[in-house]
Amino acid sequence: MIKALSVLASAGMVLVACQNVPSTDGTASPIDTANMSDTVKTMASDEFMGRAPGTEGETKTVDYLIKRFTELGLEPGGRDGKWTDPVTLKHSMITGVRSLNITAGGETINIEQARDIEISSANARDTITVTKAPVVFVGFGVSAPERDWDDFGDMDLKGKVALFLVNDPDFGVADDHPVAGLFGGRRMTYYGRWAYKFEEAARRGAVAALVIHETKAAGYGWNVASSSPGENYAVAGTKSKPSVDLQGWLHEDMAKQWVAEAGYDLDTLRTAARQRDFKAFTLGDLRFNAELALKVDTVESQNVLGKITGTTRPDETIMLSGHWDAYGIGAPDAQGRVVMPGANDDALGLAGIMEIARNLKAEPAPERTVVFAAWTGEESGLLGSEAYAQDPVYPLETTVANFTLDILQTAGPAKDVIQVGEGQSELEEMMAATAATQGRTVSPEGLPENGLFYRADHFSLARRGVPVLLIMGIAGGSDLVEGGREAGDAWVKGYIDDRYHNQNDAWDADWDLRGAAQDVELFLDMTRELANSTNWPALKPTSEFKGLRDASAAARE
Ligand SMILES: [Zn+2]
């Protein structure tokens, strides 16, 4: 019935009515693909200058989002009745290397930024000096009580350099290895991510955290790891997390040299680190030295928030989100284009959440509050969502779920939806049931070892225990109605190779948005169901964050 109503609501324009394509269950889709296309056409136009935080492009984007949210009938969702929530981003760049080396046995090995190491600082200071810091090999650097795993023992990291292996202990082991499957097998857990390792080192007072780069285990090559040497963005403010002074990647060749100086062999150390009884130890008389000059500045930016207030349980919220920022203006490409328009990424995701808002506003108001968030700073490291999660407008313990759209595919309708991450929450079963009503199935992501679950804005909430789902068009090739998986994979490859994060991520009149509309409708249906229920989808025992959610259970009683 709701679907029929929304078709009537938009039947005034012939074009729009035509764009309301049939769902696979025979009813018309409530998602208007012409609306979505128009939204992207505007946000990805040159006028918006690639939507870089802190620029005129931000002003235009935020004004546009407020105008659209207002027209959709949303209420301002920020603090004090405002549409926006301020976010201060710290930006730093290492501009001068006065010294950077390790010493061992009276010998000095110089370290070259970008060639041997990629380090930066999230602590915005003009100079960073590290003198004769011992280097501790911490293995995978995992402290996971729920898996009965602890690499640190009683090692004190204060003032020391923590040297980590990338990924988690069961990556790449044989099926009969004692730790096989303990950390999700081929799928990376949070413990495998560099972000976790930097945080764990900071919690333990380390002065620096370095992760040994290996292409397969990292999911990308040294060229990617070292692509912006010395540059760092972080959330400013008193609630921001403690950071190590220096963080980054160490090239595998340099790591081999370091451990050899201390009388070890990297392969042997990796084998040892995969054992449950492994404990961190100091690498001989290795000492790390650095004297660095930094240029530090701040960028004032904003998240944009709208909401529909719940009728009976307004303090319980369901959140839909995407990010408004893109890559701004860069060097001219072969055709002389400088704007990197971020059309699929993520103007299209925001176009999707606006369609969800339009549908929900055409229906009786939901019992719970639905929040619509357009984050800033995603491309600088999930910073807008991180700032929100550090100081949420709507308490995280009573946030029922977050649904994030970040890059939708534009290759047409699909027989499946790709699930990112696995074993996290009961939203996974709910997604499968909802997809079934669309005549679709759920498929696992294409490259689980890349850990996409930890690499989009929903994760800022997930890591604090909020149940989340992410739909990301590049998480794997869809099984397309026309052309099957092969055509879906080809679309993903074409997007990543040719358009991702560059001038080609542009609006295209020839997009087939019917598949994107299926994904948006899926989140619409799930939002509607949760917003009119008393259900709190739980985290699963295999989630790294279940303990956190459990700790706030009283708030949901
Ligand atoms: Zn994105």
Q: Which residues, 6+ apart, have CB-to-CB distance to 461 below 8 Å? A: 319, 385, 389, 396, 399, 402, 468
Q: Separation of 539 CA from ligand 1 center, angstroms?
A: 25
Mean pLDDT of 466-493: 96
Q: How confident is the model at residue 451 (pLDDT cuts 50, 70, 90)?
A: confident
Contact 5, 29 (CB under 8 A): no
Q: Separation of 70 CA from ligand 1 center, angstroms?
A: 24
Instruction: Name the more confident of 522 and 450.
Output: 522
Instruction: Name the more confident of 238 and 491.
Output: 491
For residue 465, what are the CA distances in angstroms to 201, 399, 403, 427, 460? 21, 10, 14, 13, 9
Q: Separation of 88 CA from ligand 1 center, angstroms?
A: 20
Instruction: Name the more confident of 515 and 16.
Output: 515
pLDDT digits (tens, 9 = 90+) for 152-188: 999 999 999 999 999 999 998 999 999 999 998 878 8
Three-state secondary structure of 210-274: EEECCHHHHCCCHHHHCCCCCEEEEECCCCCCCCCCEEEEECHHHHHHHHHHCCCCHHHHHHHHC
Q: Separation of 406 CA from ligand 1 center, angstroms?
A: 5
Report the chain's mean pLDDT, rounded to a whole number. 92
**Dihedrals phi, psi of 120, to nearest 5 degrees:** -150, 180
Q: Separation of 378 CA from ligand 1 center, angstroms?
A: 7
Q: What's the confidence (pLDDT) of residue 238? A: 61
pLDDT digits (tens, 9 = 90+) for 19-33: 455 555 556 899 999
Q: DSSP 3-state helix, strand, coil percentages of the chain (rounded to 5)? A: 35, 25, 40
Kindly report the pTM of this predicted structure.
0.86
Q: Report the run of H or E that residue 129 belongs to, with start and end.
A: strand 127-137
Q: How confident is the model at residue 436 (pLDDT cuts 50, 70, 90)?
A: very high
Q: What's the confidence (pLDDT) of residue 24? A: 52
Q: Separation of 352 CA from ligand 1 center, angstroms?
A: 13
For the chain, what percent of residues have pLDDT higher than 70?
Answer: 95
Q: Separation of 307 CA from ligand 1 center, angstroms?
A: 22
Q: Separation of 235 CA from ligand 1 center, angstroms?
A: 18
pLDDT digits (tens, 9 = 90+) for 325-368: 999 998 899 999 999 999 999 999 999 999 999 999 999 999 99
Q: Which of 359, 350, 360, 356 is nearest to 304 (CA)?
A: 350
Q: What's the confidence (pLDDT) of residue 331? A: 87
Q: Separation of 457 CA from ligand 1 center, angstroms?
A: 8
Contact 373, 394 (CB under 8 A): no
Mean pLDDT of 97-103: 97
Q: Separation of 460 CA from ligand 1 center, angstroms?
A: 14
Q: Separation of 256 CA from ligand 1 center, angstroms?
A: 35
Q: Report the run of H or E that residue 299 belongs to, with start and end.
A: strand 281-308
For residue 249, what are the CA distances in angstroms to 95, 165, 209, 427? 18, 10, 9, 35
Q: Which residues, 6+ apart, have CB-to-CB distance to 28 below 8 Å? A: 3, 4, 7, 20, 21, 22
Q: Separation of 65 CA from ligand 1 center, angstroms?
A: 17
Three-state secondary structure of 513-545: CHHHHHHHHHHHHHHHHHHCCCCCCCECCCCCC
By three-state DSSP, how is residue 442 classified?
A: strand
**Dihedrals phi, psi of 478, to nearest 5 degrees:** -75, 160
pLDDT digits (tens, 9 = 90+) for 56-86: 999 999 999 999 999 999 999 999 999 999 9
User: Token digits for 506?
Assistant: 């542009």
Q: Separation of 501 CA from ligand 1 center, angstroms?
A: 9
Q: Separation of 322 CA from ligand 1 center, angstroms?
A: 8
Contact 394, 250 (CB under 8 A): no
Q: Separation of 379 CA from ligand 1 center, angstroms?
A: 7
Cα(463)–Cα(382) distance, rounded to whole angstroms?
12
Q: Separation of 405 CA from ligand 1 center, angstroms?
A: 8
Residue 239 confidence (pLDDT) above 80: no
Q: Separation of 11 CA from ligand 1 center, angstroms?
A: 32
**Of the listed ranges 223-237, 296-310, 474-488, the one predicted with least confidence:** 223-237
Q: Separation of 349 CA from ligand 1 center, angstroms?
A: 8
Q: What's the confidence (pLDDT) of residue 189? A: 87
Q: Separation of 381 CA from ligand 1 center, angstroms?
A: 10
Q: Separation of 409 CA from ligand 1 center, angstroms?
A: 12
Mean pLDDT of 505-514: 97
Q: Separation of 458 CA from ligand 1 center, angstroms?
A: 11
H helix runs in 99-251, sequence order: 194-203, 215-218, 222-225
Question: How many residues are recorded in the chain?
Answer: 557
Q: Separation of 12 CA from ligand 1 center, angstroms?
A: 33
Alpha carbons within 13 A on the beta-carbon side of 384: 27
User: Token digits for 162?
Assistant: 């923590």
Q: What's the confidence (pLDDT) of residue 200? A: 96
Q: Separation of 62 CA from ligand 1 center, angstroms?
A: 17
Q: Separation of 105 CA from ligand 1 center, angstroms?
A: 47
Q: Separation of 456 CA from ligand 1 center, angstroms?
A: 7
Domains in the chain: ranges and CATH: 28-71+309-551 (3.40.630.10), 90-296 (3.50.30.30)
Q: Separation of 323 CA from ligand 1 center, angstroms?
A: 7
Q: Separation of 126 CA from ligand 1 center, angstroms?
A: 31
Q: Separation of 342 CA from ligand 1 center, angstroms?
A: 8
Cα(414)–Cα(319) distance, rounded to whole angstroms?
25
Q: What's the confidence (pLDDT) of residue 10? A: 37
Instruction: Name the more confident of 426 and 21.
Output: 426
Beta strands (DSSP E) in 445-536 are: 468-471
Q: What's the confidence (pLDDT) of residue 226? A: 87
Q: Separation of 484 CA from ligand 1 center, angstroms?
A: 25
Q: Separation of 500 CA from ligand 1 center, angstroms?
A: 9
Calculate Rg over the CA atoms of the chain. Answer: 24
* Highest mean predicted confidence (pLDDT) among 9-13, 103-107, 132-136: 132-136
Number of Cβ atoms within 10 Å of the Cβ of 108: 12
**Dihedrals phi, psi of 143, to nearest 5 degrees:** -120, 95
Q: Separation of 366 CA from ligand 1 center, angstroms?
A: 29
Q: Separation of 255 CA from ligand 1 center, angstroms?
A: 32
Q: Which residues, 6+ apart, have CB-to-CB distance to 489 below 8 Å? A: 446, 476, 477
Q: Separation of 522 CA from ligand 1 center, angstroms?
A: 19
Q: Separation of 162 CA from ligand 1 center, angstroms?
A: 31
Mean pLDDT of 451-463: 91
Mean pLDDT of 409-425: 96
Q: How confident is the model at residue 146 (pLDDT cuts 50, 70, 90)?
A: confident
Q: What's the confidence (pLDDT) of residue 69? A: 98
